[in-house]
Amino acid sequence: MSDIYKIFLMGPQGSGKGTQSEKLSEYLGIPAFGMGQLLRDEVVTGSEFGNKLKNIMKLGDLVSDEDAAHVLKLRLERSDTKKGYILDGYPRNLAQYQAFNFDNPTHVFVIDISREESLKRLGGRLTCDHCGKVGSINDGLKSGDTDSCGGNWYQREDDTPEAISRRLDIYEHDTAPVIQKYAGYVTRIQGVGSIDTVFQRIIEALK
C-alpha cells in the first residue's frame, strides 16, 4: 500500500484494542506500539535517556508527559515508520495530547463497548497467588480453587467490579477531551462482536 497511515487506536480496557492493533499492524505492514512498550524498549537500549527512565520507573514514579513524548519521538524517527504506524492507547489524556505536538494522525479509531460489556469481559479474571498465572471464571475456574502449581486462584483487587468501574470512569473522563481535539479524524467503532467482525469494521472505516 502506498498510502501513509498514522492510526491512533483508543478504547476502554477490555475493548480489544491491543488485539486490533496487532491485526492492523499485520494487515497494513506497519508497526504498532503502546507507550508502556516504548518505555520498556528504551530502557533496554541502555542509553543515557533509557537509564534515566529506568531509575524513574524503579522508584515506582510516573514518567513525565515530556519524557514519554520524547520516547515516542525517538521511535517515530526510525525508518520502519516511514509508511506509518499504529499507536495503541496514546495519548489518553489532555496533558499527553499537549506534549505530543510533533505529529498528527490520519485516522483515530475509538472502539466503543458498553460498561456492562467491559465488566463482563474483565470481571471474571482470576490470578494464581503462587505462579501469577491469569485465568477466568469463564473457563470454569472459581476463586479459591487450586492451580496445578499448588497455588490458589483469587480475584485481584484491581479486577473487582468496583475497581474496573473506577478505571472506566477515569478513561471516559480523561479521553473525552482528547477525542474532541481529534474530532476531524475520529471514527467510532462498535466494539461488540467477534475479533474479526470488529476488525472488518475498522478496515471499512479505513477506506
The count of other CB atoms within 10 Å of the CB of residue 58 is 9
Choices 90-98, 107-115, 129-137, 199-207 (CB under 5 A): range interacting with Zn ion = 129-137
C-beta closer to Zn ion: residue 62 or 149: 149
Instruction: Please work out the total of residues on this chain that contact Zn ion, with binding judged by CB under 5 A.
Output: 7
146-185 residues in contact with Zn ion (CB under 5 A) are 147, 149, 151
Burial-class residue 1 by CB neighbours within 10 Å (0-12, 13-18, 19+).
Answer: exposed
What is the nearest approach in angstroms of Zn ion to the Cβ of residue 150?
7
The one among 1, 131, 192, 203 contacting Zn ion by CB under 5 A: 131
C-beta closer to Zn ion: residue 124 or 151: 151
C-beta closer to Zn ion: residue 98 or 152: 152
What is the nearest approach in angstroms of Zn ion to the Cβ of residue 154?
11
User: Residue 39: helix, strand or coil by DSSP?
Assistant: helix
Cα angle vertex 64, ends 59, 68, to 5°? 110
The residues, any chain, with a CB within 8 Å of residue 136's CB and separated by 6 or more, are 124, 125, 126
Choices 23-31, 101-109, 132-140, 184-192 (CB under 5 A): range interacting with Zn ion = 132-140
3-state helix, strand and coil shares in percent for the chain, rounded to the nearest 5: 50, 15, 30
C-beta closer to Zn ion: residue 154 or 185: 154
**For Zn ion, what does the binding mask look like between residues 50 and 69, x meaning CB under 5 A?**
--------------------
Residue position matching grid coordinates 504498532: 32
Is residue 130 a contact residue for Zn ion (CB under 5 A)? yes
What is the nearest approach in angstroms of Zn ion to the Cβ of residue 14?
23
The closest of 87, 65, 92, 63 to 75, measured between CA atoms, is 87
Adjacency order of strands within the sheet including 153-154: 134-136, 125-128, 153-154
C-beta closer to Zn ion: residue 44 or 149: 149
Could you list the residues that contact Zn ion (CB under 5 A)? 128, 130-131, 133, 147, 149, 151
